[in-house]
Amino acid sequence: MSGTSSPEIANPIPAPDTLELAALLCSKVCHDLISPVGAIVNGLEVLDDNPKPEDREFALELIRKSAKTASARLQFCRLAFGAAGSAGAQIDVGDAQTMARGHIEDAKTSITWNLPRLLLPKNRVKLLLNMMVVAQQTIPRGGVLTVDPIGEGETMSFRVAATGLNARLPQNIVNLLAGAHQSTIDAHAVQPYYTRLLADACGLKVTLAADGDAMVVQAS
Domains and CATH numbers, the chain: 17-82 (1.10.287.130), 88-219 (3.30.565.10)
Is residue 79 within 8 Å of 91, Cβ to Cβ? yes
> What is the total residue count of the chain?
220
How much is the pLDDT for 102? Answer: 93
How much is the pLDDT for 63? Answer: 94
Rounded distance between C-alpha atoms, residue 142 and residue 124, angstroms = 25
Rounded distance between C-alpha atoms, residue 83 and residue 65, angstroms = 27
Which residues in the chain come in under a pLDDT of 50?
1-11
How much is the pLDDT for 1? Answer: 38
206, 213, 150, 147 alpha-carbon torsion, rounded to 10°: 90
Q: CA 32, 106, 174 angle in degrees (round to 5)?
A: 60
Is residue 97 within 8 Å of 113, Cβ to Cβ? yes
Stated pTM of the model: 0.87
